[in-house]
């Protein structure tokens, strides 16, 4: 890739690579293969279609699609217009979904037909939404209230137009003309709130592309690599570390729509994947699979991720013949700390990249001594190589940037040789099965139950190196509530991964004299003899 020009604008990157590579395969999804030229043409279709809907530069468009080629066509099409994608977790429903669409000021929503009923149920709370583009069959159900009654689509307010994907996608393939600069906004990725609502990290085109460039250097990526991901496209990880990385490298990528522990390596072999991404629980799950004689007979050489226990990593590398590379990152700041393939230490997430400054500080923002834990704070050495701010939340942006450093809310330590080690989360966000969960939003949903007085959501360590969600509940005087009924109530109001596994009913929550809940007390208690376990009880949630 030496000497190869890489545009720092996503739409230009797609167009330039298509001009160079034409009929070379860029994307493989199931039994479908799409070339660079097709990605260019199909994203042009979307750009023209959005322009016909009135979408202009800096307008926000929400995307709620499963992993599929259409997601990329929509994203790239928006990038060519200078519009901003707002990817939404496909498990969101109720207030979780309504809040993201509304807070982002999205005027258009592209959604899979299976999930359309979720939007219809909250449509009254989405006054800015003007158009819904539906991929696949338009599936609706009975929706009560004043939004019901549209002759075209039951349950859709007359002010909202509903367009089928085939109609939307029939637009011309001519390139659109738009003045899009590297510093312009490209995406809003929502990160889980810790003591409040989820925040939308506004990222520029340059930020997205530069992270892909730097990580390609660290992972020694080339045009001969095949980048594989099963991680959802609504996350920073899949978008930057697979899609944009493959584009920058002039390589190909494989998109899967699910992770199957038993079929993972067969998939890697089928597609000839040489690099893949993982999250903390994935490697332990793969290691727990029964050994096979062909475990090492696979084309993968690099596994890029975070959160794998050091001893499990050693076992995985020996068994599968891969090199696991880990780092520290966030949607707000990219990946400022990472290992190199030939510069690793057990348990370390690496050293700072050369375009960032990193410190570990105490509660007064003073640097802590070597070996002691401190909050990871960060700032870039180049402009537009991290988020430009939290969208429509200036006070939260200033709070995160206090003393001219971005405060991650995570704890780490550094050894004498400059290697960093992740310690724990300083904030109250939870992470389960690769998903970030806002304890505040879990509590808000639980607290709407008529029998609940108050609650506190905390993390309980799982057997898979991440968190399980525990909710500690205080009932209203005289009220009774079965844990099974609370799970059913939660299942209807939040994504499956946020539904608590553990429930404990308490007479009162531990609090400070100023009535702040002492969550550390609840975390230290963990799973007690009186804690109810949803999985042991055999209670399922809806995926």
Q: List the domain boundaries for the chain.
A: 10-180, 204-425, 430-537
**Looking at residues 171-198, what average pLDDT do you find?**
88
- Name, of 30-39, 300-309, 416-425, the range with top average pLDDT: 30-39
Which helix (H) or strand (E) covers residue 504, if one does? strand 502-505
pLDDT tens column, 86-121: 999 998 999 889 999 999 999 999 999 999 999 999
Give dist(CA 46, CA 85) in Å, integer. 13
Give dist(CA 471, CA 460) in Å, integer. 10
Residues 10 and 79: beta-carbon distance below 8 Å? yes
Give 1's pLDDT tier (boundaries 50, 70, 90).
low
With a CB cutoff of 8 Å and minimum separation 6, the contacts of 488 are none
Q: Each residue of 88-107: b (16+ CB within 10 Å) or e?
A: bbbbbbbbbbbbbbbbbbbb
pLDDT tens column, 410-443: 889 999 999 999 887 776 667 787 777 878 788 8
Residues 26 and 35: beta-carbon distance below 8 Å? yes
Give dist(CA 410, CA 374) in Å, integer. 8
Give dist(CA 105, CA 85) in Å, integer. 11
pLDDT tens column, 49-97: 999 999 999 999 999 999 999 999 999 999 999 999 999 999 899 988 9
> What does residue 45 show for φ and ψ, rounded to 5 degrees?
-55, -45
pTM for this model (two decimals): 0.84
Q: Are 10-180 and 204-425 the same fold in CATH? A: yes
Which residue, 182, 106, 195, is CA-closest to 395? Answer: 195
What is the rounded average pLDDT for all residues in the chain?
91
For residue 401, count CB atoms less than 10 angstroms from its CB and return exposed for 0-12, middle for 13-18, buried for 19 or more.
middle
Higher pLDDT, 341 or 46: 46
What is the residue-wise DSSP string for 141-178? ----STT---SSSTT--TTSEEEEHHHHTTS--SPP--
**Looking at residues 18-32, what average pLDDT do you find?**
97
Which residue, 437, 34, 87, is CA-closest to 231? Answer: 87
Write down the architecture of domain 430-537 according to CATH.
2-Layer Sandwich (3.30)
Give dist(CA 408, CA 376) in Å, integer. 6
At residue 158, the pLDDT reads: 73
At residue 146, the pLDDT reads: 34
At residue 211, the pLDDT reads: 97
Give dist(CA 474, CA 505) in Å, integer. 6
Name the DSSP class of 511. B
The top-level CATH class assigned to 204-425 is: alpha beta
At residue 307, the pLDDT reads: 81
Write down the architecture of domain 10-180 according to CATH.
3-Layer(aba) Sandwich (3.40)
At residue 141, the pLDDT reads: 57
Residues 382 and 194: beta-carbon distance below 8 Å? no
Per the structure block, which two tokens stand in for 343?
Answer: 């510069």
Give dist(CA 305, CA 260) in Å, integer. 17
Give 543's pLDDT tier (boundaries 50, 70, 90).
confident
């Amino acid at each position: 890739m030496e000497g190869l020009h890489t545009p720092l604008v996503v739409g230009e990157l797609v167009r330039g690579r298509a001009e160079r590579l034409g009929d070379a395969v860029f994307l493989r999804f199931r039994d479908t293969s799409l070339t660079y030229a097709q990605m260019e043409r199909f994203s042009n279709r979307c750009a023209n279609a959005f322009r016909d809907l009135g979408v202009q530069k800096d307008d926000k468009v929400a995307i709620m699609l499963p992993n599929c080629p259409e997601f990329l066509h929509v994203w790239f099409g928006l990038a060519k217009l200078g519009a901003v994608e707002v990817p939404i977790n496909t498990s969101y429903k109720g207030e979780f979904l309504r809040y993201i669409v509304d807070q982002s000021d999205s005027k258009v929503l592209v959604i899979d037909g299976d999930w359309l009923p979720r939007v219809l149920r909250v449509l009254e709370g989405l006054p800015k939404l003007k158009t819904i583009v539906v991929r696949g069959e338009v599936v609706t159900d009975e929706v009560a209230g004043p939004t019901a009654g549209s002759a075209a689509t039951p349950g859709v307010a007359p002010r909202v137009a509903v367009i089928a994907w085939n109609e939307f996608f029939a637009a011309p393939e001519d390139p659109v003309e738009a003045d899009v600069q590297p510093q312009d906004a490209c995406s809003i990725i929502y990160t889980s709130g810790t003591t409040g609502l989820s925040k939308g990290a506004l990222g520029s085109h340059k930020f997205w592309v530069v992270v892909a460039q730097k990580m390609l250097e660290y992972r020694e990526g080339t045009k001969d690599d095949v980048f594989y991901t099963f991680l959802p496209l609504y996350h920073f990880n899949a978008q930057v570390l697979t899609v944009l990385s493959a584009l920058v490298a002039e390589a190909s990528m494989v998109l899967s729509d699910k992770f199957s522990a038993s079929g993972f390596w067969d998939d890697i072999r089928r597609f000839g994947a040489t690099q893949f991404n993982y999250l903390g629980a994935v490697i332990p799950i793969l290691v727990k699979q029964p050994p096979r004689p062909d475990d090492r007979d696979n084309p993968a050489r690099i596994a890029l991720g975070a959160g794998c226990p050091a001893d499990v990593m050693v076992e995985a590398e020996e068994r599968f013949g891969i090199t696991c590379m880990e780092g520290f990152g966030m949607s707000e700041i990219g990946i400022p700390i990472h290992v190199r393939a030939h510069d690793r230490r057990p348990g370390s997430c690496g050293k700072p990249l050369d375009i960032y400054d990193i410190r570990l500080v105490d509660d007064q923002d003073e640097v802590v001594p070597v070996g002691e834990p401190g909050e990871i704070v960060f700032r870039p050495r180049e402009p537009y190589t991290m988020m430009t701010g939290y969208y429509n939340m200036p006070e939260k942006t200033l709070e995160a940037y206090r003393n001219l450093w971005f405060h991650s809310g995570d704890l780490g330590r550094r050894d004498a040789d400059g290697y960093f080690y992740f310690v724990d989360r300083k904030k109250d966000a939870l992470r389960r099965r690769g998903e970030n969960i806002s304890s505040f939003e879990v509590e808000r949903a639980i607290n709407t139950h008529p029998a609940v007085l108050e609650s506190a959501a905390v993390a309980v360590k799982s057997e898979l190196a991440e968190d399980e969600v525990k909710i500690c509940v205080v009932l209203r005087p005289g009220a009774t509530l079965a844990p099974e009924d609370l799970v059913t109530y939660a299942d209807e109001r939040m994504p499956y991964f946020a539904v608590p596994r553990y429930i404990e009913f308490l007479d009162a929550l531990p609090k400070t004299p100023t009535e702040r809940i002492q969550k550390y007390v609840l975390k230290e208690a963990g799973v007690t003899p009186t804690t109810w376990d949803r999985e042991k009880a055999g209670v399922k949630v809806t995926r």
